[in-house]
Structure 1
Amino acid sequence: MNAFSGWRAALRMARRDALRAKGRSALVVAMIALPVLGVTALDVTYRSSEPTTAEQLTAEMGAADALFSDQQTGGAIEQLPDGTAYERVEESPSESEPRSDSGPHTELNSDSDSDSDSDSELPVDIGTTFPKGSRAISVESVPADVTTEYGVTSTDIREVRTSDALVRGLIDLVRGEYPHGGGEVAATEPFLSATGLDIGSTTTVRNSGRTYRITGVVEEPAALRNQALYADPGAVIAPWQAVAAHDKKVLPPNTSPRDWLVKGPEGVGVTWPDIRRANESGVLVKSRQVVLDPPPDSEVPLARKNRGPYGADAGELSIALVTVLAMAVLEIVLLAGPAFAVGARRSRRQLGLLGTCGGDRRHVRAVVLGGGLVLGGIGAVAGVAAGLGLTAVFRPMIEEWAGRRFVSLDLRPAELLGIAALGLITGLLAAFAPAVAAGRRPVLESLTGRRGVRRSSRVLPTLGCCVLVLGVAVAVLGGTGGNAVLIVGGSVTAELGLLACIPVLVGLLGRLGRGLPLSPRMALRDAARNRGRTAPAVAAVMAAVAGSVAVATYMSSSVAEKEFDYVPTMTEGTVVLSAAFSVEADIAERLPQARAAVERNLAVTGERADYRRVWAGSDCNVYGGEEADCGSLRLVLPTGKGHACPLSGKGAGKLAARLSADEHKELMRSPACLAVGSPAAMFDSGSTGIVVGDRTLLDVHAKLDDPAAAEALAAGTPVLLNEAYAKNGEVTIEAVHRYSAEDGKNRDRHPGRPRTTADRIKVYVAPAKYAATPGTTLIMPQRAADRLGLHTAPAGSVYTAVHPPTNAENQRTRAALDQTGGGIWFRAESGPSGREDTALLILTLFAGVVTLGAAAIATGLAKADAEADLGTLSAVGAPPGVRRRLSGLQCLVVALTGVVLGTVAGLVPAVALRLVDLRDAMAAMRQFPMESAYTPIALPWGTLGVIVVVVPLLAGLLAAALTRSRVAPARRTG
């Protein structure tokens, strides 16, 4: 028998065996097909979500041939053919360097010459730059406040003729009708979901007072999550401008530069000469024809300047993604191992008969490997086909998740064949170990079903421990050096080393059963005696859990880093109501109505602290009144030891590198460094953290429960929250009187440079920890402001909130505040973002499902192998529940062992990836000493608790529940 005929016979036997045991074959095919399905769906989704150049152009300009945009540079420009960068012609190369940004309208060199004539910046008549015989429609957007079902919200309103064929691909109708005329708009689905509106509802643009009816739902295929309204040109902006022209209280619309979608002459399009002519008027053009077929560099003046590449390669995979993909491939190989262990165990008698007919070990191995080849091929084809079908079925859901519509499913035959080959190789690799074991098994043992006496090899676990240590060291070395190859190689090597140790670890489980009741003792001994089926199942669980734990640990650590570095802009658990520093004299009179609106619509307690703003100079406003501009106030930071931040001087980078994360954060929150950081003025007081208030402001905002501080305020002494500004119990307040340079009256009335005056006053210095109070440095009583001759006015209130405002509460409160007359708003502290919670939940579910599946396979194999033992138990009078408890405990042993080892294996790449982040953070901190380099390794205890405790218990309970208590008598075959 030659090699080819031997393999042909082996494949024929494997095919017949697969047809004979259809249930077992289906199990093996499913275990191979499922990973292949996932990889196929991931590949098609990734390729489809990455738009081609032509698809990206359609997303930017719809069905038009070009996108024209006046950059208002006041002169001619030179641009790259793809329209991603440009520069003014009159600028010399030595004065500016081109740069590339993500947007299609990025100016390489922004000329901010304040001495240039403002008339030169007027927009050109862009219509004269269009090619002859072309057609164009305008696109313009403006942010606006609109009414909703709940109240008022802010959104973008875009004026473009949505019914025009040129916008197809840029804007598409989902349901309803396109807007027509001046009283209709269309909305995106996210806008309707957030506002409670729908087709037929009306919304009012608060800025102009015009009401519009929503006629349809549209979407931007490239940005499905955008919240926006669409109207015909002239429907929103023009009425708003007309109202603003007659009512000075209404601010004019802050429109973006108008773009034009241009359809070139039929059969010609917009060519490079057309772009050059438009560039002479300062108009930037992105042409579909030119981007897809760019001119040579010799015809591009900007490219002839021998500048470097204008953008970085965005196709490079991140270190974290490469690591996850490598572990996923390893997981695919291991998942099919238990299934082939089932086949080899169930076919041992047939393989023994092959030996009695003259077959040697090579033929036995060939039959088992043939089974891997047959079932692997079927699983690969089925997995690819199912992956394509499910991707097509769930395409809308995937598009919503990705945030963009797929123009088409991008199927790449070479990649799909590679995935199918991976499934085939997976089948062979998974069948390799059972094939070797079957080839070594004596013929008599196979025929009788006896297992024989086996001794564990000491070489494999010793080698595994060495490989484990080596892999950990390589991964850590790669993390400290930022080397992706070392991190991936080390992580996979460490996991392989741990895999080699699994048989010995499983063997040790048998010793743990001494002294335990019957069922757990039998479960542990059965797992130890049948390592050939237990070890692959444990390995499959370990591989799935390792990948999930690695990603979950990395994400949990990133969340902990953000929480550690987060600097609140407001005191936690508060809501601030603020009134604008405006010329309107009645704004302070409207504050009681605004307070009532907040108390009625937000979940706030009865604790409220009113505050006043303070300024110097005459009775005026910050925007410049008819008499004079207001004088601003600021606290002067003293010089000398104790008043300077160590992280802002010479040698700060070296000092920061020597500090621990906690020491660095403590130093950053010290009074001196907080004074250098200049936290934003939360109350918009027109000064540097100086506000007028009483003891309620100490309680509600500063959370300063100090009777001495309250007494000081009552006695007319200001309370200083940041002690760095104090010297000998006093602070210096500087008033700078500035007068509007654009106001001719003020310039004539107050010639010369701004006046500066300073006063030193006694203060009560609060403990150092209150220096971190957001946006507030000094709380001044009204008596002190009067004594210094400063001006004050009611400005708002601070409330204690029960919970952060919801979306509906925000909209209702905004509507109520607008009814008071405008110029008053509110803010709440939202805290650090927690978007990773959903991803952690998905990872937990994935690991749980795979763990349950692998444990179920191992339990099914155990039941098949243990039929004789279970029959013996029944014969000697064991209760029927023993069978059920034994199956549950067998499943529990496999699942628990796998998740514990998987948790250990998953920490290796997670730690290595965090070391990469630490390396980058330390480099940034040496350059910017006030930036934190805190890079923790935070374990996701919630996820680990579910995986390590809940999932194994659930697996055991399900196995016990699905196992029959009694077994039908069977013919003895031993």
Structure 2
Amino acid sequence: MSVFTGWRAALRIARRDALRAKGRSALVVAMIAVPVLGVTALDVTYRSVELTTAEKLTAQMGSADALFNDSQAGPLDQSVTGDDYRPLSDTAPSPEDIPALDLRTAFPKGARGISIQSVPASVTTGYGVANADITEFRTADPLARGKVDLVDGSFPKGTGDIVATEPFLKSTGLHVGSHITVRGPEQKYTITGAVEQPDNLAAKALYADPGAVIAPWKATAARDKKVLPPNAGDLTWLVKANNGKGVSWPDVMAANKKGALVASRQVVLDPPPDSEVPLIRKRGSNNYPSGNSDELSAALITVVAMAVLEVVLLAGPAFAVGARRSRRQLGLVGTCGGDRRHVRAVVLSGGLVLGGVGAVVGVVAGLALTAVFRPLIEERAGNRFGSLALNPKELLVIAAVGLVTGVLAALAPAIVAGRQSVLESLTGHRGVRRGSRVLPIVGACVMGLGIAIAVLGGTTGNSTGVAAGSVVAELGLLCCIPVIVGLLGRLGRTLPLSPRMALRDAARNRGRTAPAVAAVMAAVAGSVAIATYMSSQAAEGEYDYTPMLSPNAVVLYTMDDEGNAAPGQLPLAQAAVERNMKPTGGPAGISRVWAGSDCDTYYDDEDSCGKLDLVKPTGKGHTCPLNSKGAKELAVRLSDDEHRSMMHSPECVDERYTINTFGGGGSNIVVGDASLLKTYVKLDDPAAAKALEAGIPVLLNRAYAKDGQVTVKAVHRYSDKDKKNRALHPGPARTTTDRMKVYVADAKYTETPGIRMIMPEKTAQRLGLHTAKYGTVYAVSHPPTDAQQQRIQASIEQAGGNVYMQSGTESRDREDIMLLVLTLFAGVVTMGAAAITTGLSKADAEADLTTLSAVGAPPGVRRRLSGFQCLVVALTGVLLGTAAGLLPAVALRLIDLRNALKAMRLDPMESAYTPIVLPWATIGLLAVVVPLLAGLLAAVFTRSRLSLSRRAG
């Protein structure tokens, strides 16, 4: 009973002390509540964004019981979820031999359904013309709820109404009440409402009632003898059973016999045993093991551990300062018969009280903030929450962690207070304690051990080892921080008064400064580690990225049956580009060139197509060393930079794959003149232009040239469908090989997207090749916006169509939004920790500041001192955190390098380039801007004048 009585008294004293020192108590509660708030919000957001199976089914089929599809494979067996099936017939009939299925005949008896049918269409917008998917779907029907929901306005009430998603309205400059015309039937509709797809908030789509769009389109196509848009006949149905229970597994199997593929809510949520599923009996179970979550678990444990450590480091000095300011009260406990454990109990009770309050406040605030910012979170996630998912057990654990954190933060101050003599407590003397000489040595050894573990984990491919080693190394560095802080005092000997006092105060009060520096280091280390890894991966992705077009290029091209635009179409499209985009270069004409029949080998018989190739000579300077004998051994010997350089050399650049942007076949030969060189290739060379005028091709990849000449091999083969050219070139296929003089461009033009050689028109004719106008190329200052694209598309439609626009992309920005979030997080923690330390130093050294004012120090000294104290903590923590954060980033890149080397040994053409790129913008912001801002704010919000009081003791 006495034990409980003692703790009851200690808790009462702690509660009263917390109410008496409201400012310090609020500070501790905030430090504990903020991480609890963050973890609570993260937990609720994660649970809410990750839809349950039932919620996914609602997004797929609305409030219906099942979704019916025509498999177009005849009778079948399907999986429980409907995402896999197998035709019953071993010899699958061709689609032409399978009769069209009316899915309504496969519905359960008495069920009703609504159809879904989508077509791609061209529609008018507020800026011009845009392409969009139009779905005929009775969105007003209750079965559609959850699949398509109304946001504004009303659902369609007739065939003249249509609704659109908000992203479509935003990108097209339209709104509810606007009129829109579907090109083709030229049918006009009124936008009566804005809708959203809860599982895809970024979708740009239009919805109309059945019969509103496709029927007029089919009538117009039949009248004008035009081909219907793709998938114009594919139908799916949302089905509602009339039994109140849903579509059962026997219903699904009955529909399978008729060729229908069914996804049933009842079956997915309550699946039948495997013995009742024919597909599983025939194939066996497909229970593939899930992905290894060890890396994710290790990362989550590391984050939680560092968050708890950060709170302990920040809140510990607050409890220590509180214990020192209450040392007289603690001394009175001793004079009244209390021993050391009673003193420790009082301080620990403070951690228990404030930790409990912080935990409750954090959980409640986390729930409230998640609810308030739910629309913003859903917008960023791209889908709506199924519900605000609350897991009481997880929330209780989070609150318990906050409570334990408060107790842990008060543990060290409690031990120190218990060791203090009653005389020291009553007189206010702190006593003198020397710093431990063993702790820095132990810390250095632990740090070295952690670095070794992280590097070993990186070289062996163990990400858990990387995480563990990084944490161990960071803990070792924490042990060294008091020594580092102690050295700061020696740096201020030649500095002015305020910075000198700030450095010496930090060194003298290491127990207060070191934890704050460590907290900043912990936050910055995590941010720098992730930012460095992401920047490095982005650089690797940029290296491997092969663009379709040169950056900031726009191409107008034709795609009619003859490969040419009708007279007058291309000039009108060019005028639209010049009017809307203000090109910086062009227009430059470009033409395709081919031999024999110009056909698509993906759809056509390759044996009936012609072929045109640039023949690469053999030998040094022509053959890629990474694609020849001994390539594997060579790849192992090369350094990353050497392999990277060789991969981008003229000899190897085309060995992996090439992108045929301008329809030049595998050769990437195009027909053009000097304007194409200047506008697209950026080769402003009079000699090259003169060569083209003289009929000499310009070769951009020098590996194809030998003695200033190239070899062009043409196979003149004509298909039966190519009646025009077959009549001009009767007889069997023939092969011609021509050598011609070329102008060889500098090696830096080797990787020009889509072009390896530019051939003059007259040279192509001399070689008996076929040419056709492909389009026009422009150089622009930026890729076209949605409004510009739609205006240009409108002009193209007015010209009669058959002209399309393709744009290049700018160099991809490697600063991801995640880097910004991490930087802001680390910056907030840095300023918060620095501000907390500054506030504690002012509270702890109030008597010294009073003395400073009494001896005549100017009022501004107090402001400057606070600012420099804040700057010292922030800058020291940021620099140490940056160094600590590089370790896990480098170790993780070692894992990436190991995997890349494995792939390269199997295929020497695979790149092993794994750079380590420092996020200088993030580091600069953290190392320069944040500390200066923290110091400036501390100076601004510090009172310069102080009312003098009698110094105690």
TM-score, structure 1 normalization: 0.92
Give the residue type in structure 2 aligned to 1:49. Answer: V
Q: Is the 8 A contact 1:566 1:832 kept in 2?
A: no
Distance 1:528 1:537 in 2: 13
Identify which range, 439-448 or 688-697, moves more after superposition: 439-448
Match of residue 348 from structure 2: 369
Q: Is the 8 A contact 2:313 2:515 kept in 1?
A: yes
Q: Is the 8 A contact 2:311 2:409 kept in 1?
A: no
Q: Is the 8 A contact 2:708 2:741 kept in 1?
A: yes
Q: Is the 8 A contact 2:569 2:801 kept in 1?
A: no
Shift of the 727–399 alpha-carbon distance from structure 1 to 2, 3 Å rule, reads: same
Alignment partner of 1:83: what SS? coil
Distance 2:909 2:597 in 1: 39
Q: Give yes or no for the alignment of 1:504 onto 2:483.
A: yes
Q: Give yes or no for the alignment of 1:655 onto 2:634.
A: yes
Q: Give yes or no for the alignment of 1:145 onto 2:122.
A: yes
Shift of the 713–923 alpha-carbon distance from structure 1 to 2, 3 Å rule, reads: same
Distance 1:629 1:145 in 2: 35
Q: Is the 8 A contact 2:838 2:938 kept in 1?
A: yes
Match of residue 895 from structure 1: 874
Match of residue 774 from structure 2: 795
Q: Give yes or no for the alignment of 1:490 onto 2:469.
A: yes
Match of residue 182 from structure 2: 205
Deviation digits for residues 399-457 of structure 1, max 9, x if unmatched? Answer: 21222111221111110110011001110111112112222333333333333322111
Shift of the 165–692 alpha-carbon distance from structure 1 to 2, 3 Å rule, reads: same
Identify which range, 308-317 or 808-817, moves more after superposition: 308-317
Match of residue 76 from structure 2: 77
Q: Is the 8 A contact 1:718 1:762 kept in 2?
A: yes
Alignment partner of 1:604: what SS? coil
Shift of the 829–294 alpha-carbon distance from structure 1 to 2, 3 Å rule, reads: same
Q: Give yes or no for the alignment of 1:805 onto 2:784.
A: yes
Alignment of 1:290-329 (within 5 A): 290-305=267-282, 307=284, 309-313=286-290, 316=293, 318-319=295-296, 321-322=299-300, 323-329=302-308
Match of residue 35 from structure 2: 35
Match of residue 547 from structure 2: 568
Q: Is the 8 A contact 1:24 1:342 kept in 2?
A: no
Alignment of 1:222-301 (within 5 A): 222-248=199-225, 252-255=229-232, 257-301=234-278
Q: Is the 8 A contact 2:658 2:666 kept in 1?
A: no
Deviation digits for residues 882-938 of structure 1, max 9, x if unmatched? Answer: 111111111111111111122122222222222232233333333343332222221
Q: Is the 8 A contact 1:520 1:889 kept in 2?
A: yes
Shift of the 619–337 alpha-carbon distance from structure 1 to 2, 3 Å rule, reads: closer
Q: CA deviation at 1:311?
A: 4.5
Match of residue 571 from structure 2: 592
Distance 1:242 1:654 in 2: 66
Q: Is the 8 A contact 2:598 2:610 kept in 1?
A: no
Deviation digits for residues 88-107 of structure 1, max 9, x if unmatched? Answer: 2334xxxxxxxxxxxxxxxx
Shift of the 254–286 alpha-carbon distance from structure 1 to 2, 3 Å rule, reads: closer
Q: Is the 8 A contact 2:597 2:717 kept in 1?
A: no
Match of residue 95 from structure 1: none
Q: CA deviation at 1:357?
A: 2.7
Identify which range, 292-301 or 908-917, moves more after superposition: 908-917
Match of residue 384 from structure 2: 405
Match of residue 194 from structure 2: 217
Deviation digits for residues 743-779 of structure 1, max 9, x if unmatched? Answer: 8999999998655444333333333332211111221
Distance 1:798 1:232 in 2: 42
Shift of the 678–940 alpha-carbon distance from structure 1 to 2, 3 Å rule, reads: closer
Distance 2:12 2:644 in 1: 70
Q: CA deviation at 1:623?
A: 13
2:896 to 917, 928, 934: 917
Distance 2:737 2:865 in 1: 85
Match of residue 19 from structure 2: 19
Q: CA deviation at 1:624?
A: 12
Shift of the 938–401 alpha-carbon distance from structure 1 to 2, 3 Å rule, reads: same
Alignment partner of 1:772: what SS? coil
Deviation digits for residues 646-667 of structure 1, max 9, x if unmatched? Answer: 3334554443344333322322
Q: Is the 8 A contact 2:681 2:749 kept in 1?
A: yes
Q: CA deviation at 1:45?
A: 0.7
Q: Is the 8 A contact 1:562 1:832 kept in 2?
A: no
TM-score, structure 2 normalization: 0.94
Distance 1:29 1:623 in 2: 67
Unmatched runs of 5 consecutive residues or more in structure 2: none
Identify which range, 348-357 or 132-141, moves more after superposition: 348-357
Identify which range, 323-332 or 451-460, moves more after superposition: 323-332
Distance 2:929 2:721 in 1: 70
Match of residue 101 from structure 1: none
Shift of the 122–747 alpha-carbon distance from structure 1 to 2, 3 Å rule, reads: farther
Deviation digits for residues 649-702 of structure 1, max 9, x if unmatched? Answer: 455444334433332232222233233345222223457312111222222222
Q: CA deviation at 1:263?
A: 0.9
RMSD: 2.8
Distance 1:330 1:753 in 2: 80
Q: Is the 8 A contact 1:338 1:854 kept in 2?
A: no
Match of residue 107 from structure 1: none
Alignment partner of 2:651: what SS? helix
Q: CA deviation at 1:949?
A: 1.0
Shift of the 686–532 alpha-carbon distance from structure 1 to 2, 3 Å rule, reads: closer
2:109 to 132, 154, 161: 132
Shift of the 195–40 alpha-carbon distance from structure 1 to 2, 3 Å rule, reads: same
Q: Is the 8 A contact 1:848 1:951 kept in 2?
A: yes
Match of residue 636 from structure 1: 615
Match of residue 4 from structure 1: 4
Q: Is the 8 A contact 1:557 1:937 kept in 2?
A: yes
Shift of the 923–584 alpha-carbon distance from structure 1 to 2, 3 Å rule, reads: closer
Match of residue 422 from structure 2: 443
Match of residue 509 from structure 2: 530
Q: CA deviation at 1:77?
A: 2.1
Q: Give yes or no for the alignment of 1:190 onto 2:167.
A: yes
Identity of counterpart residues, as a percentage?
A: 66
Identify which range, 633-642 or 523-532, moves more after superposition: 633-642
Alignment partner of 1:525: what SS? helix
Shift of the 576–657 alpha-carbon distance from structure 1 to 2, 3 Å rule, reads: farther
How many correspondences in the alignment? Answer: 949
Q: CA deviation at 1:367?
A: 1.3
Q: Is the 8 A contact 1:732 1:761 kept in 2?
A: yes
Q: Is the 8 A contact 1:582 1:622 kept in 2?
A: no
Deviation digits for residues 243-295 of structure 1, max 9, x if unmatched? Answer: 33333566534448422111123224211111112222332111111111111
Shift of the 266–764 alpha-carbon distance from structure 1 to 2, 3 Å rule, reads: same
Deviation digits for residues 833-871 of structure 1, max 9, x if unmatched? Answer: 437532222211111111111111111111112121112
2:413 to 419, 431, 434: 434
Give the residue type in structure 2 aligned to 1:334. Answer: L
Q: Is the 8 A contact 1:735 1:756 kept in 2?
A: yes
Distance 1:65 1:753 in 2: 61
Distance 1:619 1:472 in 2: 61
Q: CA deviation at 1:950?
A: 1.0
Identify which range, 807-816 or 519-528, moves more after superposition: 807-816
Distance 2:795 2:499 in 1: 66
Give the residue type in structure 2 aligned to 1:188. Answer: T
Distance 2:224 2:640 in 1: 55
Unmatched runs of 5 consecutive residues or more in structure 1: 92-110
Give the residue type in structure 1 aligned to 2:130. Answer: T
Q: Is the 8 A contact 2:596 2:718 kept in 1?
A: no
1:175 to 132, 152, 160: 152
Give the residue type in structure 2 aligned to 1:593. Answer: L
Alignment partner of 2:681: what SS? coil
Distance 1:239 1:918 in 2: 58
